[in-house]
Amino acid sequence: MRKDAVSEFLEIDEATTEILGWAPVEMVGHRSLEFIHPDDQEPAIEAWIEMLATPGPGKPTRMRHKRRDGSWLWVEITNDNRLADPEHEDMLSELVDISDDIAPHEADWLAKRSVRSRERLLDRIAEALPLGLCQVDRHRRIVYCNERLPEILGTPRAATIDQQLATVLRDDWSGLDAAIVGALHDGVDADVEVQIERSLGDRFRRCVARVRALEDDEGAPRGAIVTFEDVTESARMRAELERRANYDMLTRCHNRASVMSAVEVAPSQGDDTSTAVIYVDIDRFKSVNDTHGHATGDDLLVAVADRLASAVRGDDILGRLGGDEFLVVCSRIGGRDEALQVGERINDLLHADLALAGEHVALSASVGVACSDLGARTADELVSQADAAMYEAKREGSGRVVLFEPPASHTEVGSLH
């Protein structure tokens, strides 16, 4: 049979017709794959591509060829690459009927070739995956490792899983090692998130390691598959989305929703301490915006947030409600006296002359304090009490702290003037 470079039949001889039953007109102009058994096409293609790369005869390839009556015939085909020969410029294929040789061993031969085909397929899949992947035996030796795994881990190919995973951060190693032991000895699957330090000074990479146990025919553990997925960017994105969902972008304080959630949780601590809420409103903030511009107003809000952060206790939560209003949530506080001390410390730090963008700004605030031991039943009610105390402070003059008291007696506690 003569074929062109894309395996299209140019000519067949009488012997081909005798063996296969096809007349020349039925094959010429068609590609040889149309006559090859579907299960044999992959090795046929591989042999053809290999043969194209080298002039001259290629390796014999065994396959099933379709006969005109619809049956399949085992043949051995040898292709001779004559494309570069100006006298021929074709491929010469010799076909031999080997059905008598194959018949006694066909089942075993097909089974072995199927196994090899599946192995090639699995290798190709493993290399195409965007994951690092390796197979280990019960002795933690690496049986197979794809190209992606050393790239993710920043380690050269290694003989054991312990050597391959040398860049896993030590703080995370115990959890991953426990997952590997569980798979190898108990047949337990596990997912573990770990950090990778690929080289000195390299930014940590975040990876999800998935450990899957492998069993023998009796169901006993015989090894494991370990995959690594680099989730660094998605982890950063999650962290950024969480930050945007919970924090005010200008002042880096908790936003309104986040700080109000903190108030809701704080009163339910269930111990002998109280929860205090401190409501802070910047005095004359509108005039700062009107006189110096909104950029200076933003700088003032940032300065206030920084001063508030330095005034509160380590476990307190600082949030911006919006505009020029801030809220401090003090859980487990030792009563009204301690809450007032925090309020006074805040007020002291917010009484200052600031130079912002070359502008002189006089800073002061009105502060309202409410404590849960005064009977507030809900978070909203506690914040409302602090808000009422803040407005009382504002009515009495700039730079004051007022503790909420049950109606009708509000007590002024301090003044900065």
Count of Cβ atoms closer than 10 Å to residue 43 Cβ: 17
CB 137 within 8 A of CB 159: no
pLDDT at 98 over 60: yes
Question: Residue 181: what pLDDT?
Answer: 94
Segment (H or E) for 79: strand 72-82
What is the rounded distance in angstroms from the CA atom of residue 326 to the CA atom of residue 319? 6
* Kind and range of the H or E run holding 36: none
CB 368, CB 249: distance < 8 Å:
no
Q: How far apart are the C-alpha atoms of 155 and 150, rounded to whole Å?
A: 5
Which segment, 7-11, 101-105, 374-378, is predicted with the most confidence on average? 7-11
Residue 335's pLDDT band (cuts 50, 70, 90): confident
Q: What is the predicted pLDDT for the residue at 106?
A: 63
pLDDT at 297: 86
**26-61 pLDDT tens trace:** 999 999 999 999 888 888 888 888 888 889 998 888
Q: Give the Cα separation of 82 and 11 in Å (integer).
A: 15
Single-letter residue type at 162: D
Distance of CA 137 to the CA centre of its chain: 28
Q: Is the pLDDT of residue 11 over 90?
A: yes
pLDDT higher than 90, residue 70: yes
**DSSP state, 212?**
E
Superfamily of domain 247-415: Reverse transcriptase/Diguanylate cyclase domain (3.30.70.270)
Read off the pLDDT band of 412 (50, 70, 90).
Answer: very low
Q: How far apart are CA 312 and CA 253, in angstroms?
A: 13
Q: What is the overall mean pLDDT for the chain?
A: 85
Q: What percent of the chain has pLDDT over 90?
A: 41
pLDDT recorded at residue 405: 85
Question: What letter would DSSP give residue 35?
Answer: G
Q: How many other C-beta atoms are found inside a 10 Å radius of the C-beta of residue 94? A: 15
Confidence of residue 410 (pLDDT cuts 50, 70, 90): very low
Q: Give residue 414's pLDDT band: very low, low, confident or very high (50, 70, 90).
A: very low
Averaged pLDDT, 193-206: 76
* pLDDT attached to residue 129: 73
The DSSP output letter for 225 is E
Find how far residue 279's CA is from the centre of its chain: 39
CATH of 129-234, one of 3.30.450.20, 1.10.8.60, 3.40.309.10, 3.40.640.10: 3.30.450.20
247 beta partners: 254
Domain ranges of the chain: 2-107, 129-234, 247-415
pLDDT mean over 401-413: 68
Band (326; pLDDT cuts 50, 70, 90):
very high
Are 269 and 373 a contacting pair, CB within 8 Å?
Answer: no
Which architecture characterizes domain 2-107 according to CATH? 2-Layer Sandwich (3.30)
Reported confidence tier of residue 238, pLDDT bands at 50, 70, 90: confident
Cβ atoms of 363 and 300 within 8 Å: the answer is: yes
Q: Which helix H or strand E contains 190, and what residues bound it?
A: strand 190-196
Domains 129-234 and 247-415 share a fold: no
pLDDT mean over 89-112: 79
pLDDT of residue 27: 95
Q: Is residue 68 predicted with pLDDT exceeding 60?
A: yes
**DSSP secondary-structure letter at 140?**
S
- H or E element, residue 260: helix 256-265
Q: Is the pLDDT of residue 413 over 50?
A: no
Q: Confidence class of residue 22 from pLDDT cuts 50, 70 and 90?
A: very high
Q: What is the pLDDT of residue 126?
A: 62
For tokens 């903030």, name the residue.
285
For helices 256-265 and 379-396, angle between their N-to-C axes, nearest 10 degrees? 110
| CA 46 centroid distance within chain | 37
Phi, psi of 105 (to 5 degrees): -120, 10
Q: What is the pLDDT of residue 411?
A: 46
User: Rounded mean pLDDT of 154-170?
Assistant: 92
Please tell me the distance from the alpha carbon of residue 304 to that of residue 298, in angstroms, as a whole number. Answer: 10
H runs (alpha helix) in 329-404: 336-349, 379-396
Q: Which SS3 state, helix, strand or coil, does residue 404 take?
A: coil
